[in-house]
Amino acid sequence: MDKKLKLSVDDLLKNFDLKEFIKYLDKSSKNKNTNPELIDTPEVFNGFLKSCFSKKFNFNKLLKNSQSYGVPRSILDTEVDFIHEHIECGTLLSILNDNFKLEKTSNFNFDDEVTNYYYDYQIISSKINKSYYIFVNYDNGIGLTVYFCLKKFENKNSALNFIKEEQKKLKKYFKKD
């Protein structure tokens, strides 16, 4: 791959395979990690990149030098800002494809003596498979930022109830000290 190659989101979208991305989401939503244990959680943006693989760029080479949220340095700087902004407000997937719609967000912050932990839960619906995915934008305030798909549900109420239970678990976890 040319070291000077700089890609835009439009370059990626030209090769976007929605079915492959949904397979990625379905697989990553079975992830056994739950909050606050966020080790080796698959990044949503990596799944998007894998769904856009083409002869012009290779996924593994793109990821060798990644920034936060798994965004490769070969993505244009202005596009990185665009991606981060839409991850943070929960609209990245609906910008990438109209199959997805942001249904609800719920933010939780927890402090300890060292840092502020930020959890932004996003319920995003998929028209194609009539499912509701829970995404988490996690930031520990000292450099670890992760955007991942936590769970998949068949209805919105189940997703809302899951988030309420996660909030209770987090409150209990952060009060244990």
CA distances from 132 to 77, 101, 124 (A): 31, 9, 6
Q: What is the pLDDT of residue 30?
A: 80
Beta strand pairing status for 131-139 and 145-153?
Answer: antiparallel
pLDDT band at 48 (very low <50, low <70, confident <90, very high): confident
| Most confident option among 14-18, 41-45, 69-73, 129-133 | 129-133
Q: How confident is the prediction for the chain on average, in pLDDT?
A: 80
Paired strand residues for 145: 139
**Is residue 89 pLDDT above 80, yes or no?**
yes
Average pLDDT over residues 148-174: 91
Q: What is the pLDDT of residue 21?
A: 92
Q: What is the pLDDT of residue 97?
A: 93
Burial of 167 (0-12, 13-18, 19+ CB in 10 A): middle
In the three-class reduction of DSSP (H, G, I as helix; E, B as strand; rest coil), residue 139 is classed as strand
Q: What is the pLDDT of residue 53?
A: 72
pLDDT band at 161 (very low <50, low <70, confident <90, very high): very high
Q: What is the pLDDT of residue 2?
A: 47
**Is residue 36 pLDDT above 70, yes or no?**
no
Beta strand pairing status for 100-111 and 145-153?
Answer: unpaired
Q: What is the pLDDT of residue 1?
A: 43
Q: What CA–CA distance (Å, rounded) separates 41 from 147?
A: 9
The count of C-alpha atoms lying within 13 angstroms of the C-alpha of 96, restricted to the half-sphere facing its C-beta, is 31
Residue located via tokens 């002869």? 55
Paired strand residues for 123: 104, 134
Q: What is the pLDDT of residues 92-105, one digit of tens each?
A: 999 889 999 999 99
Average pLDDT over residues 90-118: 89
Tokens linked to 84: 């981060």
CB 167 within 8 A of CB 160: no
Q: What is the pLDDT of residue 71?
A: 58
